[in-house]
Structure 1
Amino acid sequence: MAGELLVAGDVPADVREAVTGVVAALEQAFNTKDAVALGSLFGERASWTDALGRRLDGRTAVIESSAPALQGFLRNSFARYEVTKLLAIADDVIAVNVTQTPTDADGRPVEGPHGAALYVVARQAAGWKIVAGQNNAVDAQSAA
């Protein structure tokens, strides 16, 4: 994840590493089309709105929605995720702005819809998890 990271509030280095690690794991799960790995990054009671505008409540819903999408219309879609901003909301709760750039399977940028996502990542008993968020498809200029 290259580029300049804006940090607002007190986000210690170990928290930055943990939260950006969640995003890196999410990118890996998307690119390998692993719905279970992707879902494992969400809290049990997460609230997620996908790029199609569908609200998914809970980890199970994220997995059940992602599995057919990753094997279906997204099977040839790959992306690079870049964390652009971390905002400390409260102790152990971080808002994370992420840009998503479409790539080929080898990670080279390609034409296609970009993404702009907001994840709320919180420390839970099982580690740092996405507890809320929204993914938006945007044109390339809006993503810059």
Structure 2
Amino acid sequence: MDITGAIPSQDDVDQILALLTTVDRAQRTEDADAFLGVFREDALWVTGHGKRLYGRDAIGTFTRKVLPGATAAGYATYEADHLLFVRPDIAVLNVNQTYVERDGDQVLDHGSPVYFLAKDDGVWRIAAAQNTIVVAE
């Protein structure tokens, strides 16, 4: 993973990578509460299909509807690709997302989410995110 911009502390990098691990685990286990815990109250989330959700309540309503059963055929893996520290309390994380069949043998699709992160009271959370599906050329 590349890290650019303002010089971060190792603790900040570790916290952001832990946030991504939480997203990965929450998605795989279909744990809506854990997933919602990574968002600020006023977060903006744009789904892979372009649905705009404003605020953690709206994100929660959507997530609780679509997450249960979402991993029946497969799941997504999340790998940090690039981390830009805009300033010490604002960062942008680009993620490589790979959708695989349940047995993990066949790749189904790819995504390239970007998370805009804010550090409030020492905790990194998603302030805004775009979950983009990568279309094969």
Which residue is equivalent to 1:110? Answer: 106
* Unpaired segments ≥5 residues, structure 2: none
Per the normalisation by structure 1, the TM-score is 0.86
| 8 Å Cα contact 1:33/1:70 also seen in 2 | yes
What are the superposed Cα offsets for residues 52-78 of structure 1, whole Å, 9 maximum, x if unpaired?
101111111111101111125x24231
Work out which of the residue numbers 43, 56, 61 in structure 1 matches 2:58: 61
Any idea what the Cα deviations from partners look like across 1:46-104, whole Å, max 9, x if unmatched? 011011101111111111101111125x2423111000100011221110000101134
Q: Distance in 1 between matches of 2:35 and 2:134?
A: 22
Q: Distance in 1 between matches of 2:78 and 2:105?
A: 12
The answer to which of 59-68 and 42-51 deviates more is 59-68
- After TM superposition, the structure 1 stretch with the greater mean CA deviation from structure 2, 57-66 or 122-131, is 122-131
| Alpha-carbon distance between aligned partners in 1 of 2:122 and 2:59, rounded to the nearest angstrom | 17
Q: Is the 8 A contact 1:69 1:75 kept in 2?
A: no
Q: CA RMSD in A?
A: 1.7
Q: Answer with 80-89 or 119-128: which moved more.
A: 119-128
Amino acid at match of 2:63: S
Q: Find out whether 1:21 has 2:35 as its counterpart.
A: no
Percent identity (aligned):
30
TM-score (norm 2): 0.90
For the residue of structure 1 that corresponds to 2:11, the secondary structure is: helix
9, 12, 21: which one aligns with 2:9: 12
Alignment match, 2:133 = 137
Q: In structure 1, the residue corresponding to 2:67 is in which secondary structure?
A: helix
User: What is the aligned partner in structure 1 of residue 79 from structure 2?
Assistant: 82
Residue of 70, 88, 93 corresponding to 1:91:
88
Aligned length: 135
Letter in 1 for 2:9: P
Alignment of 1:30-45 (within 5 A): 30-45=27-42
Contact 1:101 1:109 in 2 (8 A): no
Structure 1 unmatched runs, 5+: none
